[in-house]
Amino acid sequence: MQKIFLLPFFLIGIVTLSQPSLGSYTEYVCPPCNSSCDTLEFDKPGICPHCNMKLITKEELKELTAEKKKIAFYLQPGIEILDFAGPMEVFAYANFEVFTVSKTKEPIISQGILKIIPDYSIADSPKADILAFFGGNSSSAFNDTKVIQWIKSQKDIDYHFSVCTGAFALAKAGVLDGKTATTFHSALDNLEKNHPNITVVKDARFVDNGKVITTAGISAGIDGALHLVAKLQGYNEARKIAYHMEYDKWIPGEGLILSEDDPYKNYKNTTALEIYTGTYEYLNGTQVELKIDQREKSLYAIVEGMNYPVFYMGGNTFTNIAEHEINFVTDKNENITGFTSSEYPDTLFNKLEK
């Protein structure tokens, strides 16, 4: 038996997770994260001790699996490791079904270090909802007529996504015709010169055309992937993933968004969050301090030097990383006087005077 102790306001409280004995009924499982804990079962709600994701019921797992987005990562010999590994981490947390495709099923070497065996070749790859392309030896890979023809042959694609010089795959296939795009800093001029029908942006972390997203080089792919998750699953979900990954360089919306579905439009004004900031009492004399993270334009709870994200849901309601509901209480003048937690619904935790 394993015990995890964290203050309930930011995470889960005192949670006991026990793998059930033989013959007992199991209700809770870990959400799919492509790790060994995907096969574990638990008899109580809580947090997975392996990947720190909130446990869900088997019924919720069934619904989640049915809604999975399928994303094909096209990988070529010489591909840049972080170009694809960063977004792969993001999409795995987001419960996308990620599979790899290359021209053939022969092993490929990334940066002369990592050997990768593709799941599929272009001859037998299944249909994907999203196609993703990455940099590294791209001039050779995307001058291959068979590869470009395969890209063109993919029908009913929901989104095209590229990192670094992976944008040249979309350019060669005509996906970027008449659109705005970006790529790796040393390849911007090349993209502009050889594809005059594309408006090339040279100072954006990513460019979102709606159904086509291109990013700058290498680490920018993480930002682009978080942005796509925000579009599909909401800004709060992208924040949770960035928190789990400890990716504290992400500035939400730090790109050129040309589409109408801007997932940050309701979160850009921090003025409305100011009323919640301050110090609150909690259990056993513990104090919780709420502050605004100006980089994320969002609220964090701080205790003993540790930051925990708090997610705005509407009105005076927030949730924490474990999806406990936090409701702030006001007086007749609409001043915040305290909060209640769904874990302790009958207890009011007062805001302390400054």
pLDDT tens across 247-271, in order? Answer: 989 999 899 999 999 999 888 778 8
Asked if 109 and 77 count as a contact pair (C-beta separation under 8 A), the reply is yes
Asked if 272 and 298 count as a contact pair (C-beta separation under 8 A), the reply is no
Instruction: Please report, for the chain, the start and end positions of each structural domain, with discontinuous segments joined by +.
Output: 2-66, 70-257, 270-350
Asked if 276 and 336 count as a contact pair (C-beta separation under 8 A), the reply is yes
Instruction: Report which of 32, 118, 121, 102 is spatially closest to residue 68, judged by C-alpha positions.
Output: 32
For tokens 């096969």, what's the residue? 39
What pLDDT does 19 receive? 43
Asked if 141 and 147 count as a contact pair (C-beta separation under 8 A), the reply is yes
What integer is the mean pLDDT of 173-192? 97
Question: Cβ of 30: how many Cβ atoms within 10 Å?
Answer: 24
Asked if 28 and 43 count as a contact pair (C-beta separation under 8 A), the reply is yes
What integer is the mean pLDDT of 306-320? 92
192-221 residue pLDDT tens? 999 999 999 999 999 999 999 999 999 999
Q: Is the pLDDT of residue 10 over 60?
A: no
149-179 residue pLDDT tens? 999 999 999 999 999 999 999 999 999 999 9
Decide yes or no: CATH 3.40.50.880 for domain 70-257: yes
Portion of the chain with pLDDT greater than 70, in percent: 89
Start-to-end C-alpha separation, the chain: 42
Task: Give the separation between CA 61 and CA 267, rounded to whole angstroms.
Answer: 29
Residue 30 annotated as catalytic: no
Q: Is the pLDDT of residue 1 over 80?
A: no
Task: Give the separation between CA 106 and CA 90, rounded to whole angstroms.
Answer: 26
What pLDDT does 354 receive? 62
107-144 residue pLDDT tens? 999 999 999 999 999 999 999 999 999 999 998 899 99
Residue 47: pLDDT band with limits 50, 70, 90: confident
Which residue of the set 30, 37, 51, 164 is catalytic? 164
Higher-pLDDT residue of 39, 111: 111
Q: Is the pLDDT of residue 90 over 80?
A: yes
The CATH number fitting domain 270-350, selected from 3.40.50.150, 2.40.128.50, 1.10.2020.10, 3.10.180.10: 2.40.128.50
Residue 62: pLDDT band with limits 50, 70, 90: low
For residue 127, give the DSSP letter.
P
Q: What is the mean pLDDT of the chain?
A: 88
- Taking only Cα atoms into account, the Rg of the chain, rounded to an integer number of angstroms, comes to 23
Task: Give the separation between CA 31 and CA 52, rounded to whole angstroms.
Answer: 10
